[in-house]
Amino acid sequence: MAATPPPAARLRWDQVMAWRAARHHLDERVPAKAMLEVAGRVAGLHAQVLSSAELTLAARVEDLEPDAVRRALWEERSLLKTWTMRGTLHLLPRTSSRCGRPPARVRRAAEAEAERLAAWSGGQLELGWADAASPGGAATG
């Protein structure tokens, strides 16, 4: 007869909630220099609206400068804006293994929309796809 496995750990709700708060850096704020680490540990910062990402970090990072997220995204390029879960925009550290191309359905929809906008503009707009694999992240058609 097979031995009965030991019972699973029994946790109280307060223990579960404490673990989750710690895992999401909500129990203790970290220094500003850890901003990118936090972005990666929480599996990306929701960024459909950029202020959402800014507020997410402000709750977790001590003394975060008001323009730190924008600077990391647009000047330092240490954050990457990409499609992730549910086809929504998130910010991830550029060095994250989670970075990559969006799901095929999202890419197809974006390309179709770019074609519609180009047709609507009478060829005045030329929209490309920013591809991380391209040299310098340049737009590709």
Each residue's pLDDT tens digit in the chain (141 positions)? 678 877 777 778 998 899 889 888 999 999 999 999 999 888 889 999 999 999 999 999 999 999 999 999 999 999 988 888 777 889 999 875 555 555 566 667 777 777 777 777 776 665 554 544 433 444 443
pLDDT of residue 132: 44
Distance of CA 116 to the CA centre of its chain: 28
Alpha-carbon dihedral angle through residues 22, 77, 69, 40, given to the nearest 10 degrees? -10
Q: Is residue 3 one of the residues assigned to a domain?
A: no
Q: Which domain holds residue 121?
A: 101-141
Instruction: Name the residue among 94, 40, 89 with its Cα closest to residue 72.
Output: 94
Instruction: Name the residue among 49, 44, 69, 74 with its Cα closest to residue 58.
Output: 69
Q: Is residue 2 one of the residues assigned to a domain?
A: no
pLDDT of residue 85: 74
**What total of structural domains would you count in the chain?**
2
* Same structural domain, 32 and 73: yes
* Same structural domain, 74 and 122: no
What's the pTM?
Answer: 0.60
Q: Is residue 12 one of the residues assigned to a domain?
A: no
Q: Is residue 22 one of the residues assigned to a domain?
A: no
* Same structural domain, 69 and 119: no
* Same structural domain, 87 and 33: yes
* Same structural domain, 50 and 63: yes
Burial bucket for residue 110 (CB in 10 Å: 0-12, 13-18, 19+)? middle
Instruction: Name the residue among 2, 6, 76 with its Cα closest to residue 35.
Output: 76
pLDDT of residue 118: 73
pLDDT of residue 51: 94
Distance in angstroms (rounded) separating the CA atoms of residues 22 and 124:
50
* Same structural domain, 94 and 107: no
Q: Is residue 110 one of the residues assigned to a domain?
A: yes
